[in-house]
Structure 1
Amino acid sequence: LLAGTGIATIFVDHQLHILRFTPATSQVINLIPSDAGRPVGHVVSNLVGYDRLVADVQGVLDTLTPVEAQVQSSAGLWYMMRIRPYRTLDNVIEGAVITFMDITAMKRVEALLESSAGLYRLGVVVRDAFDAITVQDLDGRIVAWNPAAERIYGWSEAEALRMSARDRIPPDLQDDAPAMALQPGRAGILTPRLTRRLTRDGSVLQVWLTASVLVSDAGQRYAIATTERLNDAMTATDLPH
């Protein structure tokens, strides 16, 4: 099931030995099947400017406090790395789990928003993106809706621009609205998470959602941009309520 999500995931035990990992991990860290059982510090990372993996994993095991960081691979891809304790069904901590969620598209959007000259290029990126990219204002009104969003969810751009972001959220997940990202002190790209979204025909899709709080030159938050990627590995009923 984990392999089907396409998310790079590594499980390590208390001695930082690799227990298992998903195939996507090889894009971030040079792992092969025979690496299972080896210390995670003995494998070669493809990350640029980040050499704290062992220390960060050990810190999570010592304090049970998750660690998050944005990291970049040598191929130029950006990931939201999250390290957290790994608990069994009996609530016993067996080690740590490390995940790397691709946030490259969101980083590109942020970079292009930093300059007026980048706005045209941003339009091209949004238009041609494989993932649904949306922008909502601080009142939750949808102000941008790319072709991929139309393809995935069924609403045309004209229809979406008359909607609220909450119109796409199942009733039991209304508190999960991206506007929750606008809590005091929150800025930048927020941790990608698996959630559910409604389509025009009323069906429910599982998506990996990454939200970014957009901030003006004056430091004022003015919108939330999201990228939403279909999760093909599960059905909507697999996601916890």
Structure 2
Amino acid sequence: MLDNINVGAVFLDNHLHIKCYTREAVHLYRLVASDVGRPLSDIKSNIEGEDMLFNAKSVLDTLVPFELKIHTVDGACYLARIQPYRTLDSMINGVVLTFSDISQLVRTQMAENEARELTIGIFDTIHEPLIVLDDELQVITASRSFHNYFQTTEEGTVGRPIYELGQRQWDIPELRGLLENILPKNLVFEGYRVELDFLGIGHRKLV
């Protein structure tokens, strides 16, 4: 039955000896059938930089589950979890180490981050102040020229609703109505003029 589980798992008894393991676990530990009953400390690990045996001892002592991201020597990335397991009569009978392969997810996230950084780099070469909003009118990103022109910071801008920026100068009925009517209908507008007063930089006419 364990061979049908697509997650690497190693079951250890209260002495941290191997009780059983799944087929996927051999990517993390160099296990063979005759290793059942041996201490996990005897088994060569493919995990880089983490002492999983120490973590397993800690979980067995405290009964507090533990989770971390690990890498293997071949470059794979796993989400590792260690938790105590109980018998049917609720007695602690050791710990189980599980390993979920998240390599593809990590690669996707890295690619998305690289694409975002490239977009921001291009965005920052545009001289006009620009700001990008999501469908809830919260700021996704703002160009460097926007921060320079309106004397704002990325920390005080990104993730906030546009109406809450600065001293709420952007919260005017005309702009609110325009934005809230455009986004739901996927419309585009050009040449809209608005005049606002900004603390520290004075009166501005924006198009």
**Distance in 2 of aligned mates of 1:35 and 1:74:** 21
Q: 2:41 matched to which residue of 1?
A: 41
2:118 and 2:91 mapped to 1: Cα distance? 49
- Partner secondary structure for residue 60 of structure 1: helix
Give the secondary-structure state (helix, strand or coil) at the position aligned to 2:115: coil
What 5-or-longer segments of structure 1 have no aligned partner?
121-136, 140-216, 222-241
3-state DSSP of counterpart to 1:48: coil
C-alpha separation in 2, matches of 1:42 and 1:101: 23
Distance 2:135 2:37 in 1: 48
Structure ID, larger Rg: 2
SS in structure 2 of the partner of residue 31 of structure 1: coil
- Matched residues, number: 127
Instruction: Tell whether the 8 Å contact from 2:2 to 2:23 is kept in structure 1 after alignment.
Output: no
Encode CA deviations 1:194-214: one digit per residue, 9 max, x unaligned.
xxxxxxxxxxxxxxxxxxxxx
In structure 2, the residue corresponding to 1:114 is in which secondary structure? Answer: helix
- Inter-CA distance 138–16: structure 2 relative to 1 (3 Å threshold): farther
Give 2:7's aligned residue. 7
1:207-218 correspondence to structure 2 within 5 Å: none
Q: Distance in 2 between matches of 1:117 and 1:17?
A: 46
1:116 deviates by 2.3
SS of the residue corresponding to residue 107 of structure 2 reads: helix
Give TM-score, length-normalised by structure 1.
Answer: 0.48
Quote the Cα distance in structure 1 between the aligned partners of 2:17 and 2:135: 45
Query: Which 4+ runs in 1 deviate beyond 3 A?
Result: 117-120, 217-221
- Contact 1:112–1:119 at 8 Å: present in 2 too? no
Per the alignment, residue 17 of structure 1 pairs with 17
Normalising by structure 2, report the TM-score: 0.56
**Distance in 2 separating the partners of 1:69 and 1:22:** 20
Considering fraction of residues, name the structure with more strand: 1
Deviations 1:171-225 (A, max 9, x none): xxxxxxxxxxxxxxxxxxxxxxxxxxxxxxxxxxxxxxxxxxxxxx85859xxxx
Instruction: Report the AA paired with residue 48 of structure 2.
Output: V
1:114 to 2:136 alignment: no
**Greater relative contact order (Cα < 8 A, sep 6+):** 1
> In structure 2, what is the Cα distance between the partners aligned to 1:42 and 1:6?
25
In structure 1, distance between residues paired with 2:64 and 2:135? 31
Does structure 2 retain, via aligned residues, the 8 Å contact 1:112–1:118? no
Aligned-partner residue type, residue 47 of structure 2: L
Structure 2, unpaired ranges of 5+: 120-133, 137-153, 161-207
Identity %: 35
Cα pair distance change 1:108/1:63, threshold 3 Å: same
